[in-house]
Amino acid sequence: MQAKQVPQTQYFLRWVFGLFWVVFFTLASPGCSGLNPQQEGTNPDGGVADYTPPAIAPPALPPATLQQRACPDKLVTKTSLSFTNTPCQKDSRQSACTTGGCQPSKVPTTASTAPSGFFNDCSKPEILCVGPQGEVKTLTEASQKVATESAITTVLVARGVYNESVTFQNVQRALRIVGESNDAADKAKGTWLIAPKPTGTAADYAALRLVNMSDVTIERMVISGQGNGIYADNCVKITITNNHHTVNLRAGLWVNKGQNVTITQSRFVKNGGQLNTSGATPYWQDLDFGIKIVGVPTVDLRDNEVSSNGAGGVWISSDSTIGITITNNHRIGSDDNIAITITNNHRTTLEGNLIHHNGPVGIAGYPTKLASCQCPQGYFCEGGACHLALVDDTNGKQSAVGLGLVLAGQSQATLRGNSLFGNDTGGILIHSVGQVTFQHNALERNGVRPETSNVRLADYAFPALKMVSVRDTVTLEGNLIVDNVKSGVSIQQSAKAQKGLSVKASNNHLGGNGRFLTGERNPVGNGLMLLASQQGPALSFAADNNVFRNNGRAGFASEGSVSGLLQTNLFQNHPFRGVVVLDTGNAQTQIRLAGNTIDGARGFGVQVYGGGAVVQIAENAIQGIQPVQQTGTNLEADAIGLTNLTSKATVEKNLMTNNTRVGLLLDNTAAEVSNNAIQGSQYAVITQKGASVTGTDQPLAQTPAQPLPNTKTP
């Protein structure tokens, strides 16, 4: 019997029907997407179909006062220090806020004049009056009288201009030199001591020299001229109060050796530099600091203004070894290659000082607009003039100029209630100090020179607060650190440390640091960065109740042998990572994250990459993690990423919501994963490159046929 012919249309329908079932069973297969779920049936959130996330309450947030952008006295309620003005607005442009910021309330803003009757006691033997109506007419004559008449303890100086360079020396009794007015705006009203141009090149040339004095106070005078303002050598006790040191060619105040220096209610403005106009392009030279103190065990600076000084604001060191002289301009070594001895009896306190716009650009006194000029080697062009390169790397050693404050070699450094704003390179460098207490300070827009190109800012990017080789402890409490050109705080433990440094950070607001350079070369700008060698003792830390917001790279970052606790912190809107921990130490170190909120980041909410530390991540809320790039396939956008860890990690009771790619990515890492709530991600848990999971959340794990992209932090 002949087979019945089947029409061509029926062949076609049978072929389509067969193809439908092939596609159906292929799509229903667990391995269709390149993933191999360990339990059948996935839902759109990347979990299993019958997965019900546990109910987890979000962790507590830092206090509401700390979440606002406000001066330190508004962030915390337990400080007696006070500020005027307000910080720059959040997310304001680079050029939108060039002055202002938080200002300590006790810094003088007006001239001070002596009360009536100032000269009433000139006839007394202990009082010597200087001026047109005085017993002597010049300070040079006064110094001679003081040297020969031991009864004199007070020198009163009338208003007027004294063009002199005068020396007081070998006075072994308390001596006060007091001016009638420190009015620096009007030479007819102020008591001005101005050093004339010297005939030689002596480094200690000054308007006022104090040598081998026992106890001397300089008060209510304007000090200026063609040398240092005041130079003091080997004086037991020096007090500077209510003075104005301005337009000195060299340092406003240089103290070399002695026992005790106290500076209060004084101003140091536009010292340490001159504009050389002899060539085709003007350039700034002979840079120096507003205040320079070397080899003095006890230093106390309170309620002063230090601004627009050529090499930087304040330099205090136990000796002069950190100064690297390049073409007679002061540079400060800023890395671990500089050996500085910590002198155990040296203690420095700064409280309530305003230190702003110091550095080669700051002393120029004009906005740094882009301009074309031919500069000598080691200089750069801004504002039509050449300025010394702010950061120099020579033979592996980094040095800097244009810092607000440099401290080195002290056993204790205490900084409270200070404001550092708009210094050329960075706010503060602390090098080789035993203990650092840093409380209720404001660091804002340091290194952010307005109208400057981002490429140039990137060349000289420097942390707002950089600590190198601190020996014992660092306490950071109640500080506002915002909108600085690079990291807010960078702490580097010495590679030669014999014991681990201890860092405690609480109730700080760190935001917008590095944000002006996002997209320029490699990302910069962590809120808090901790660095330690992978060998040797671990740096230990505890960071709680801090707010990290929109820093240019990450909120918290560490690299090397670092061990400690991040707890109850808020991380918001970081463009690369919320928290990143790289190249951890051995199994004796531990990294624990507990009760933190990470709200918005790119790449990873938490990334731990490499090393042997024991990692515990518990009871955190992580949400809204997006890819760094807008185009690409399966790019990193994960709540938690753990990679190449040799110790087993623990991830439990975390709330991971609406993270674009993965809740938990395990790459070549073993972890105990239990009782986490993972929702709104493409995949709940990914294991790849030999990673393994135990715990109650093991059924959520999926293994891709091809590993998902997993980039070490940029």
pLDDT tens column, 611-620: 999 999 999 9
| Predicted pLDDT at 370 | 53
pLDDT given at position 282: 81
Structure tokens at 89: 């607005």
The full length of the chain comes to 714
What confidence score (pLDDT) does residue 100 get? 81
Lowest-pLDDT range of 29-38, 167-176, 185-194, 643-652: 29-38
Helix, strand, or coil here: 643?
strand
Residue 273: strand, helix, or coil:
coil
Per-residue pLDDT at 22 exceeds 80: no
pLDDT interval class at 369 (50, 70, 90): low
**pLDDT the model gives residue 24:** 35
Q: What is the pLDDT of residue 324?
A: 63
Per-residue pLDDT tens over the stretch 557-580: 999 999 999 999 999 999 999 999
pLDDT at residue 142 greater than cutoff 50: yes
| pLDDT surpassing 60 at residue 221 | yes
| Nearest one of 233, 195, 192, 196 to 216, comparing CA atoms | 233
9 token code pair: 């249309």
- Strand (E) or helix (H) holding 329: strand 329-333
- Tell me: the pLDDT tens digits for 669-691? 999 999 999 999 999 999 999 99
Q: In the predicted model, is pLDDT for residue 49 greater than 60?
A: no
Type and span of the H or E element at 219: strand 215-219
Greatest pairwise CA separation for the chain in angstroms: 149
Whole-model pTM? 0.92
Give DSSP secondary structure letters for 674-688.
Answer: ES-EEESSSEEEEEE
Once rounded to an integer, what is the mean pLDDT over residues 268-295?
A: 89
- Segment 640-657 shows an average pLDDT of 98
pLDDT at 339: 67
Pairwise CA distance, residues 11 & 626, whole Å: 49
Contact 284, 247 (CB under 8 A): no
The predicted model gives 290-300 an average pLDDT of 96
Please determine, for residue 397, whether its predicted confidence score (pLDDT) is greater than 50: yes
Q: Is the dihedral of CA 282, 163, 296, 299 positive or negative?
A: negative
User: What confidence category does residue 81 fall into, taking pLDDT thresholds of 50, 70 and 90?
Assistant: confident
Mean pLDDT of 380-402: 80
Is the model's pLDDT at 37 over the cut of 90? no
Q: Do residues 182 and 244 lie in contact, with contact meaning Cβ atoms separated by under 8 Å?
A: yes
pLDDT tens-place string over residues 55-67: 999 999 999 999 9
Q: What's the confidence (pLDDT) of residue 183?
A: 97
Model confidence pLDDT, tens digit, residues 123-136:
999 999 999 999 99
- Looking at residue 42, its pLDDT comes to 38
**Average pLDDT for the chain:** 88
Work out the average pLDDT over 65-71. 94
Region of poorest pLDDT, from 332-336, 499-503, 649-653: 332-336
